Amino acid sequence: MKILICGGTGLLGYHAALAALADGHEVGFLAIDDIDLTGWYPDQIHRNFGDIFSMTEDELVPYFQGYDAMAYCVGPDDRVTPPAPSYDFFHKHLVEDSAKVFRAARRAGVKRAVAIGSYFATFDRMYPKKKLAVYHPYIRCRLEQAEKLLAEAGSDMDVMILECPYIFGTMPKRTPLWKDVFIERFFRYPAVFFPGGGTTMITAEHVGEAVLGALKYGDAGIRYPIGDENRTFHWMVEAFEEGLDIQKPIFHPSGRLCGKGAQLLVARPEAREGKQSGLDFYHLMTGVMSKEMYIPEQTITAMSEQLHFGRGGVREAILETMKACYPNGFSKKR
């Protein structure tokens, strides 16, 4: 196949590009010109620069011409805190812009397309009583994005959605987002206070393999919840500490207390700056992060077998991610 990767210089797009090259495919990318690719980015990948969020559908069409397949590996995730109201931001970038790109790809003759989504959409189906789309603008937009993209497909282009969990891994020249939105918030104090639930995790390398697997083996119109290991947050925080080379006591307050703390320490300061998270912190802590919410192991196994992506290495990827966040060591000073 000839595969164009939207966001091929980002973490997931980069690993998808490596997986496609290793499997013998011709690969190109369309991405913003925000990183020096000299000396490390594979020369075999055809490079196209442009901002899909500002380009029109007509402007996008020529970039997809001659390609059989497209991987959509761009768009803000829940760690981005935009100007309020956050729904408007996420709807524009996740729903409207992705639909524009898929329409352009279809017009250009692309036959297979996959988009990176969120496992919050999986949990919305698994736990309807939690009303995740009601409380969280980001999750509502992820659901709308999947519905929109699958509707845009038509009979001439197959579309699949990968619903991804916590992802760990690195790439050259980019600092992982975990640094500012996670480590700096929770690890700068004498003890680490974090909810006591658990979640599903996977490495960026295996997400890249799943992207390729969806293009090769995926069934049109299917949402694929992918993951690898189901782990408690205590296990994850311990791995973070190992990667940061620190040892601090770890406490798991109640979801209610975590929610009130997040409102006080994060949501209110952001609101004073005119920002709003796509996740409601109180309902996130009480309804999600204080629970052990996992993609079932049988589902993970079935997805891995169908899409042919590997498993294992999550702890090693966490350690690598921590070192990439602080290549000179984690400072104990504020």
- Mind listing the pLDDT tens digit for each residue in 27-73? 999 999 999 999 999 999 999 999 999 999 999 999 999 999 999 99
- The rounded mean pLDDT for the chain is 95
* C-beta of residue 52 within 8 angstroms of C-beta of residue 93: no
Q: What separation, in Å, do the N-terminal and C-terminal C-alpha atoms of the chain show? A: 50
Residue 5 amino acid letter = I
- pLDDT at residue 334 above 50? no
Give the confidence band of 7 by pLDDT, cuts at 50, 70, 90: very high
**How many residues are there in the chain?**
334
User: Measured between alpha carbons, how far is 284 from 334 in angstroms, rounded to an integer?
Assistant: 27
Please state, for a pLDDT cut of 70, what percent of the chain lies above it: 99
Q: Give me the mean pLDDT over the 271-297 stretch.
A: 95
- pLDDT at residue 108 above 90? yes
pLDDT of the residue at 213:
98
Spell out the domains of the chain, with CATH numbers in brackets: 2-174+200-229+294-311 (3.40.50.720)
- pLDDT at residue 266 above 90? no
Give the confidence band of 123 by pLDDT, cuts at 50, 70, 90: very high
Instruction: 149-155: list long-range contacts, CB under 8 Å, 24+ apart.
Output: 149/98, 149/99, 149/102, 149/113, 149/115, 150/221, 152/99, 152/102, 152/103, 152/106, 153/102, 153/106, 153/113, 153/220, 153/221, 154/106
Which tens digits make up the pLDDT trace of 79-94? 889 999 999 999 999 9
Contacts of 148 (CB under 8 A, 6+ apart): 95, 98, 99
pLDDT of the residue at 267:
87
User: Measured between alpha carbons, how far is 47 from 5 in angstroms, rounded to an integer?
Assistant: 10
Query: For the sheet containing 2-6, what is the strand order?
Result: 46-49, 26-31, 2-6, 69-72, 112-118, 158-164, 223-225
- pLDDT at residue 178 above 90? yes
Q: Give me the mean pLDDT over the 95-109 stretch.
A: 97
pLDDT of the residue at 332:
55
- pLDDT at residue 308 above 70? yes
Place of tokens 């309902």: 283
Other C-beta atoms lying within 10 Å of the C-beta of residue 152: 18
Which tens digits make up the pLDDT trace of 207-237? 999 999 999 999 999 999 999 999 999 999 9
Residue 19 amino acid letter = A
pLDDT of the residue at 181:
85
Q: Which residues of 248-270 are buried (b: 16+ CB within 10 A; e: fewer)?
A: eebebbebeebbbebeeeebeeb
Other C-beta atoms lying within 10 Å of the C-beta of residue 122: 24
Contacts of 70 (CB under 8 A, 6+ apart): 3, 4, 5, 6, 64, 101, 102, 105, 110, 112, 113, 114
pLDDT of the residue at 331:
74
